[in-house]
A and B are shown apart, each in its own frame.
Chain A
């Protein structure tokens, strides 16, 4: 039990739509990161927030965006969904700015049709 929760568990969307995925991390975990795990692949880093500020981004287009709130919840928003966006989206949190040890939530399975 990592104390990181994600919602919803599963989601089906149509190409071109927008989606919001949610994550809640432990109190005191100031850093949250989002990863995309395509079928048969390892997770790929999307972006990271320290407190409410984005402070790191992977090789993902701007239609992937996020928000972090003071209550340790966060959102991943994806606009103009494409079929290749179908994946498991993982949220991970850690203490402090030096986030080399991360705790993962169970993920949200997104299917784009």
Chain B
């Protein structure tokens, strides 16, 4: 079974500064990788995904993540954060469970706090 490690539980950053949220996963033959965002008292929203092709994927609100197979990482970056980016971010990996389904395994999350 896959495991996902998010190295930082909390990341405070000043507004307009860059940020990187780190994610590592245990290796597998093929995986699909995701970043989800969770705002307070809400469910999860898909931020971006890597399924295949280009290793650099981007979201519509300025986030990007790079799939690095050799380092089994999928770090999330944004060059300039806004107050509205304050939320909890979850890295997830999906792989074949062997029982007829793909299963999402999540990390424990990183709380991003943007300081005005």
B 19-58 to A, binary, CB cutoff 8 A, 1 in contact else 0:
0000000000000100010000011111001010000000
B: interface residue count bin: 20 to 34
Complex CA gap A98/B46 in Å reads 17
Q: Which residues of A contact B (CB under 8 A)?
A: 2, 4, 6, 31, 33, 35, 40-45, 48, 50, 55-58, 90, 92, 97-107
B109 and A48 contact, CB distance less than 8 A = no
Contacts of A107 in B (CB 8 A): 42-43
A97 to B42, CA, bound (A): 26
A-B contacts, 20 of them at CB < 8 A, read A2-B43, A35-B104, A41-B108, A42-B107, A42-B109, A48-B103, A50-B100, A50-B101, A92-B44, A92-B104, A97-B100, A98-B102, A100-B32, A100-B51, A100-B102, A101-B51, A104-B36, A104-B44, A105-B43, A106-B43
8 Å CB contact of B90 from A43, A45, A98 = A43
A42 close to B100 (CB less than 8 A)? no
A110 to B49 alpha-carbon distance, docked (Å): 30
Contact with A along B88-108 (1 / 0, CB 8 A): 001010100101111111111
Nearest 6 Cβ contacts at the A-B interface: A42-B106, A56-B101, A55-B100, A104-B44, A106-B43, A104-B43
The distance from the CB of A39 to the nearest CB of chain B, in whole angstroms, is: 11
Name A90's contact: one of B44, B49, B108 (CB within 8 Å): B44
Q: How far is the CB of A11 from chain B (nearest CB, A)?
A: 15
Interfacial chain A residues near B109, Cβ < 8 Å: 40-42
- Which chain B residues lie closer than 8 Å to A33 at the CB level? 104
Question: A1 — nearest CB in chain B belongs to which residue?
Answer: B45
